Amino acid sequence: MRSLFICWLLDFVAAFRYFSVDFYTNGQTLGEAMKTTQISFEISEGILDVLNESREQFVHQVRLFTALQLFKSHKLSLGKAAELAGMNKDRFLIELDTHAITLIDYDPAELEQELERFES
């Protein structure tokens, strides 16, 4: 019964991410209407040399690793973490798998309670 529930839950999550709603604000989509901010910091060019990365590659990695960590620590949702990483949800799901970060992070006791609730 547990594996059936987990399979159902994973199928539900996979199907849910394909639904989207466009919101409009004064002719702009919500994403276009949202304000952005610039965050910058200085690093030694030697760090880029050691990493053998361009500035663009480094910025991409910093955004990705920050998004992964914030998702893992439950501070950002999947959608917001993907947005921070600069990618769509499907690509971010692949990155979660690549970095061994679980999509659904239940505490064992919490999962047991949920499963008991569905079994009764």
Residue type, position 20, single letter: S
Question: pLDDT tens digits for 41-92?
Answer: 898 999 999 999 999 999 999 999 999 999 999 899 999 999 999 999 999 9
24, β-bridge pairs: 29
Q: What is the CA radius of gyration of the chain?
A: 19
The domain tally of the chain equals 1
pTM: 0.64
Residue 17, pLDDT score: 43
The whole domain housing 13 covers 2-119
